[in-house]
Amino acid sequence: MTSRSFTRLALAGAVASGAVLLATLPADASKTPPRTVPVRLLALNDFHGHLEPPTGSSGRMVDEHGNTVDAGGAAYVAAHMKALADQNTIAVAQGDLIGATPLISAAYHDEPSIEFMDKLGLKVAAVGNHEFDEGYAELRRIMNGGCHPVDGCSPAGEWKGAKFDYVGANVLFKNPNEKTDALAALGAKQTEVKKLLADWGVPALPPVSVQWMNGVPIGFIGLVTQTTPSIVTTEGIKDLKFVDEVKAANVASKILKLVGVKAQVVLVHEGDQVNVGQSPDACSAVPGAGNRIATQVDAEVDLVLSGHSHQAYLCKVKDPAGNDRVYSQGGSFGRVITQVDLNVNVRTRDIERASVVADNHVVTRTVDPDREISDFVQTWKDRVAPRANRPVGTITTDILNTAAPSGETPLGNLIADAQLASTKTGGNAQIALMNPGGVRAPLTYASSSANEGNGVVTYGEAFTVQPFNNLMQVVTLTGAQLKTLLEQQFTGGPNNQAFTKILQPSANFTYTYSRGAAWGSKVSDMKIDGVPVTDTQTIRVAANNFLVGGGDAFLAFRDGTELWSGPLDIDAFVDYLGANNPTAPPATNRITVID
């Protein structure tokens, strides 16, 4: 594990104790030093490997004037970043830079996306839940370098590792005896810092990074949603625990304070939903998990930059001491850059809260794209093109991932149908269920820039819809267990589902749910091929390994027996498109909703 973050902490501690005080004095000591120095932060979140401009609704954004405009794409992100950056700039990010990515990045285990971030000059990023999609060991490889243990080196050669710091203060080892080099270079105040961490736990990642600007240190605390274990595959994080974000931030804040770093910024991969259609500069966030963190972390923290919910908002909230604190997020897929300007008092080395000004800039495509990054993206497009541009089927019109009132989406239903078809032979599946969060983009009828033709679906487009490479599995559930599973779609149950997540059902499975009924009594009238389901009958249920492992808090899947594993979900989807040519959008009439 890199110890760069802690090396910076050691330097910060030395400065605090006066060991390198001369390094911060002005060159001409006869001049009165400035009272404050400026710092500019430029932040991205939830990039998800969108090196090419995202398509459909994923590539549009409401701007400051209420207009919906095309936005995003690496070359445009770079152009806007260059226009916004000055000599006082630190580039940061709030997680999910990688994972759930289009094929241009995913085919090479997201090395292209991390290289792009290096080219942007990114200095520090919080980990997001998707940084763990391929497991902790793979995240370590992305951070530190080396070729992929199975697929080997990419066409670019041996991976050198990220040049920026990944931080995650609430990611700890479960085993307190686990060895870590995260404490390797604490320097001054090391006894106190080590005691803090010893009481807290063994960090699996550096909890903080200290960046210097204009002679003052800025401390960045990284956090990832504590729900990560329920939204990534269990095997890859089996040795880790994800603890409460506020408690972890407060420990990290104390560490920074111990070594003399008083200007503190939280980068957190957790956020809130918004009232839709508003300006990215509006405080449209509906208080939720993100707001809890933004209002409860230690008053030493000066601002909170968030992610995860893919929304854009700029808010001022009150910290525990009653002072204003900026709380923001910048959408997703490289469509928004958050700019924060602030002043740091040279004497106190703290951020002057009154000086903090934030602005969400939409990454429009009306500017000239950055030439270097355009060439960079084209290189990776050319490398992946033979695989990405292979036609796999045709569609009659757009097949969208927009939910109907029942919670079904045409594309989610289509994927469930494909998964059932792929698991009948061998797995003896009778129904299939698909998690809505695994459907990452729509299938669009219009031809892409690869000129494959209208209605033609390429492998790359199919992969963008389902980018996780999950394994299809089948388990046996009783009718009563299946009902419990469907009850777990709704808030209010013992599994603490954060919000309603309607599983997408295969065409042969129908049921009814009541909006007004109490949890446990919402689901009724389950039928398979028109035949009512009884509590005692056994049913072979197909789903991806993420769901079967209890992902998205569908814990009833863990009660399944007679586990069978089949093809990858992307292969099931591609095969179904090829066998059902052309494919029309399925109806969203499999679930009946009553009041």
CA distance 542 to 521: 24
Q: How confident is the model at residue 469 (pLDDT cuts 50, 70, 90)?
A: confident
pLDDT at 25 over 50: no
**What's the average model confidence in pLDDT over 130-141?**
96
Q: What percentage of the chain carries pLDDT values higher than 70?
A: 91
Query: For residues 440 and 100, is the Cβ–Cβ distance under 8 A?
Result: yes
Q: Is pLDDT at 18 greater than 50 in this prediction?
A: no
The mean pLDDT of 197-209, rounded to a whole number, is 87
Confidence check: pLDDT of 115 > 50: yes
pLDDT at residue 189 is higher than 70? no
| Contact of 279 with 63, CB cutoff 8 Å | yes
Are 366 and 388 in contact by the 8 Å Cβ rule? The answer is no
Predicted confidence at residue 55, as pLDDT, reads: 82
User: What are the residue ranges spanned by the domains of the chain?
Assistant: 38-362, 391-594
CA neighbor of 258 nearest in space, from 189, 170, 351, 173? 189
Q: What is the pLDDT of residue 200?
A: 78
- Higher-scoring residue by pLDDT: 449, 172: 172
Looking at the predicted structure, is the pLDDT value of residue 80 above 60? yes
Cβ 427 vs Cβ 474: under 8 Å: yes
Tokens, residue 349: 């080395």
User: What number is the average pLDDT over the span 490-514?
Assistant: 88
Stretch among 154-158, 318-322, 561-565 having the lowest mean pLDDT: 561-565
Q: What is the mean pLDDT of residues 29-58?
A: 89
Please report where in the chains the tokens 């080395």 appear, as a residue. 349
| 160, two tokens | 């050198």
Between residues 321 and 193, the one the model is more confident about: 321
Helix axes 111-120, 74-84, angle to 10 degrees: 20
Per-residue pLDDT, 56:
78
Would you place residue 180 in the very low, low, confident or very high pLDDT band (cuts 50, 70, 90)?
A: low
pLDDT over threshold 50, residue 323:
yes
Q: Which fold has domain 38-362?
A: Purple Acid Phosphatase; chain A, domain 2 (3.60.21)
Strands 431-434 and 538-544: parallel
CATH architecture of 391-594: Alpha-Beta Complex (3.90)
Give the residue, 4 or 119, on which the prediction is more confident.
Answer: 119
- Per DSSP, 314 falls in state E
Q: Phi/psi at 171 (nearest 5 deg)? A: -105, 110
Q: How confident is the model at residue 58 (pLDDT cuts 50, 70, 90)?
A: confident
- Tens-digit pLDDT profile for residues 291-318: 999 999 999 999 999 999 999 999 999 9
Quickly list DSSP for 113-143: HHHHHHHHTEEEEE--GGGGTT-HHHHHHHH
Q: Please, what is the end-to-end C-alpha distance for the chain in angstroms? A: 53
The two beta strands, 263-269 and 301-306, are parallel
Instruction: Give the residue-averaged pLDDT of 523-542.
Output: 98
Q: What is the pLDDT of residues 238-280, one digit of tens each?
A: 999 999 999 999 999 999 999 999 999 999 999 998 887 899 9
DSSP E strand boundaries for 238-379? 240-242, 263-269, 301-306, 312-318, 324-330, 336-345, 357-362
In this predicted model, what pLDDT tens digit does every residue of 354-379 receive, in sequence order? 999 999 999 999 999 999 999 999 99
pLDDT for 7 equals 44
530-552 average pLDDT score: 95
Q: Quick one: pLDDT at residue 17? A: 37
**Least confident stretch, 5-19, 66-80, 442-456, 579-593:** 5-19
pLDDT band at residue 492 using 50, 70 and 90 as cut-offs: confident
- Res 234: pLDDT: 87
Say whether pLDDT at 183 is over 60: no
Sign of CA dihedral 435, 429, 414, 390: positive
b/e sequence 17-44, b meaning 16+ C-beta within 10 Å: eeeeeeeeeeeeeeeeeeebbbbbbbbb
DSSP 541: E
What is the pLDDT, as a whole number, of residue 179?
56
pLDDT value of position 555: 92
pLDDT at 239: 96
327 confidence band (pLDDT: 50, 70, 90): very high
Write down the pTM of the prediction: 0.84
pLDDT of residue 186: 47
- What share of the chain has pLDDT > 90, as a percent? 81
pLDDT score for 28: 54
